[in-house]
Amino acid sequence: MPIRAVFLDRDGTINLEKNYVHRIEDFEFVPGAIEALQLLSRANIDIMIVSNQAGIAKGFFSEADLTALNEHMRGQLLYHAVRLTGIYCCPHHPEGTVPRYSQLCSCRKPQPGLLIAAMQERGIGRSEAVMVGDRNSDIEAGRAAGVTTYLVETGYGASEKHSTNATYVVADLLTAVRHILGEHKNPPAQ
């Protein structure tokens, strides 16, 4: 079955990992990420971001800060003809300092709650979606949702690739997308 949706982690996959990115001036795309997202858009594949944002639970930034940053990213991508289908974020962390968000939940990766909710909302089957991220928590969320997974070596991926259960390990988002779209006949090296 053809791929209808790509779930993407944000920090370390789409933008450079800078430890709780929440200010617009700190947001910077990973090289090749915009091109990768353009390829997905041209192929009419839903692009959905699924992101843990524990900085909210830890009191580092607010939901308003996150919304502003996500809208900035969405605007930058629209400028490059990329439309995001959805942005799903988990603000929780069991060791948070903000009581409202200090909890265990089913939406914090490696739990698959964000992916499952998005798949149900849009009627997407397991064989029609993939998960791309730079952490093993992204990979485990994808596996728990029953989708193919790609660990990118940007962000934390270079250090986590030796202990991953990802379907594929690739250099970056652009390499993953080219494989997803069938531009690479052989799977990337693991």
9 is annotated as an active-site residue: yes
Residue 113 and residue 106 in contact, taking contact as beta carbons nearer than 8 Å: yes
CA 143/CA 141 separation, integer angstroms: 5
Catalytic pick among 9, 46, 134, 138:
9
- Does residue 90 contact residue 51 with C-beta atoms inside 8 Å? yes
Helix (H) / strand (E) containing 51: strand 46-52
Residue 158's CB is within 10 A of a number of other CB atoms, namely: 14
Task: Give the other-Cβ count within 10 Å of 47's Cβ.
Answer: 21
Nearest to 74 by CA among 82, 65, 66: 82
**Sign of the C-alpha dihedral, residues 144, 12, 180, 167?**
negative
11 given a catalytic annotation: yes
Sequence letter at residue 144? A
Catalytic residues: 9, 11
